Structure 1
Amino acid sequence: MSNAQKLAGKIALVTGGTTGIGLASAQDFAAQGATVYITGRRQAELDAAVATITATGAAAYGIQGDVAKLEDLDRIYAEIEARSGHLDVLFANAGGGDMMPLADVTEEHFDRIFDVNVKGTLFTVQKALRLLKDGSSVILTASTTSVQGTENFSVYSASKAAVRNFARNWLLDLKPRNIRVNAVSPGPVHTPGLAGLVPEEHQSGLLGHLATLVPIGRLGQPAEVAKAVTFLASDDSSFINGIELFVDGGIAQI
């Protein structure tokens, strides 16, 4: 095993690890020497993601589950404990949302987004505490929408603002255990989730428009966000705690 691997010997969990930023981060964790667990709600996609990660000879395991269901989280952590005994890195990434103007927001829309993005993130971290070693790293997926207004996206944006503030508070709660908690906030990244915000016939138009808004002039790639997540997971960021790391091509800075 190469000494250059940033996560050599570490045990990591990535929730929502079957696609997009989650899968790219799980791949990078594995490439950096970690044993990686990923979760996803759909077994077929989960199996495919694990096959992608292990194709390079890395150690990866998939556990089907929905982070909005506390009994699923209990089962996920029981399996990790039985196989590996502890965690060193938690990337609480599972989340999502869709667009809806204020006048059309329903209770179902609100509950669905907050159940996964806020409740799911909260209990993903809380229930991991007994497995996380002192000195572990926790990374939360926030979003540039937490600091920018976005038309028809208020519920999702509010949920991500809550996630960002979890990091500020939890670093104080976890101070006695030296567990660092940071948030990564992607801008427009070319993922199935971003494209899926609109019907298929409008996807290229949406992605093209978003690219024009980014100062760098293009969408980000999941692997670019993954590098930032790995940085926050590793000892390279040992004196970084509670931050919101924007990986956004500059869009939230203008």
Structure 2
Amino acid sequence: MTKLEGKVAVITGGSSGIGLATAKLFAAEGAHVYITGRRQRELDAAVRQIEKNVTSVQGDVARLADLDRLYATVKQQHGRIDILFANAGGGEFVPLAEITETHVDSLFNTNVKGLLFTVQKALPLLQEGSSIILNASVVASKGVGGSTIYSATKAAVRSFARTWTVELRDRKIRVNAVSPAQTNTPFHKSEEIKTFLASLVPMGRLGDPNEVAKAVLFLASDDSSFITGIELFVDGGTAQI
């Protein structure tokens, strides 16, 4: 028996990196997975990799009309959601003296507003006992130069997990956050940067998207049935020592 047999899952930002790795794992564990992404070509490639039990819906989480279209598709085809992985987000490192209004708006629109409405608009479809997983980051706990806005957005995500755990407890909906550290995803393009980032991790390497996906699967499944409101670090020790 697979861990997510018959479940319906939604993963935002599911066309690459951690989102794609999680979508593959969810589908292999028996869930039907809906993935979103801003670029149709990347979504099509992701669907080919996942191979089965997957539906893609192009859209940007910062655009509320795109979220409405996503959930209208889910409602029409399956009528419910059992697992929501609010994964879509972005990051850009800018020194304090160089922060612009555009930089602030861009990160908050995706990482905070987009994630908030990803969850809010899913509420009518989320079943009693559903699992919501939010993608946060170790930068919410660490002082990292140049990450003023990015860190603030991820701290908001961690706060959401606590608040929504309380608000949704009557529906037995569990809300948890997963906080990766430096992970080997398309976000980091330069090998020089990857080498530097790996040097900051106590385990001496970047994380693999599949390692984060396994943590998300744990939080999505009944294996974590008495766990809610937590921040699960998948960080090679980065935020721990």
- TM-score normalised to the size of structure 1? 0.94
**Residue in structure 2 matched with residue 14 of structure 1 by the alignment:** 11
**Residue in structure 2 matched with residue 192 of structure 1 by the alignment:** 186
1:92-103 correspondence runs (5 A): 92-103=86-97
**Residue in structure 1 matched with residue 151 of structure 2 by the alignment:** 157
**Residue in structure 2 matched with residue 117 of structure 1 by the alignment:** 111
- TM-score normalised to the size of structure 2? 0.99
Q: Distance in 1 between matches of 2:191 and 2:48?
A: 29
Asked if 1:146 is matched to 2:146, the reply is no
**Residue in structure 2 matched with residue 170 of structure 1 by the alignment:** 164
CA-CA distance at 1:204 after TM superposition: 1.6
Asked if 1:224 is matched to 2:218, the reply is no
CA-CA distance at 1:128 after TM superposition: 0.2
Q: Distance in 2 between matches of 1:182 and 1:38?
A: 20
Q: Distance in 1 between matches of 2:91 and 2:102?
A: 12
CA-CA distance at 1:236 after TM superposition: 0.2
1:45-64 correspondence runs (5 A): 45-54=42-51, 58-64=52-58
Q: Distance in 1 between matches of 2:98 and 2:204?
A: 33
Q: Distance in 1 between matches of 2:18 and 2:227?
A: 21
Counting aligned pairs with the same residue, the percent is 61
Correspondence for 1:233 among 199, 220, 223: 220
Unpaired runs of 5+ residues, structure 1, are 197-202
Describe the SS at the equivalent of 1:205. helix
Correspondence for 2:202 among 199, 215, 221: 215
Q: Distance in 1 between matches of 2:18 and 2:107?
A: 18
Q: Which amino acid aligns with 1:239?
A: F
Q: Distance in 1 between matches of 2:112 and 2:127?
A: 24
Q: Which amino acid aligns with 2:20?
A: L
Unpaired runs of 5+ residues, structure 2, are none
CA-CA distance at 1:103 after TM superposition: 0.6
CA-CA distance at 1:228 after TM superposition: 0.2
Correspondence for 2:22 among 25, 29, 37: 25
Correspondence for 1:75 among 64, 69, 83: 69
